[in-house]
Amino acid sequence: MTEASTTVDKLFRQNNYLRTACNDLQNSVTAGGSAEPFLTRVRNGRARMESTLQQVRAEDPSFGSNKGFEDARGHATRLLSELNLS
């Protein structure tokens, strides 16, 4: 595997992690539970993903525009805003 494909794989893993963290946060809040255990996961996941995405785009500037990548960062940002936790 090339370094570029390894970085893309890492990005997809981080994206899936962030989606799961967002779902866990939303489910906890919807059920009347605490947001706290999940806030750190969402915020840190979003920050790690931003860093990796910058690496990927440095290697392939067109990444995301035509590769079917659905970026979970926007979902995380919207969710935090909707829950007044941003």
Question: Per-residue pLDDT tens for 18-70?
Answer: 999 999 999 999 999 999 889 999 999 999 999 998 898 888 887 776 556 77
pLDDT score, position 65: 66
pLDDT score, position 66: 57
pLDDT score, position 39: 92
pTM above 0.85, yes or no: no
What kind and span of H or E run contains 14? helix 3-30
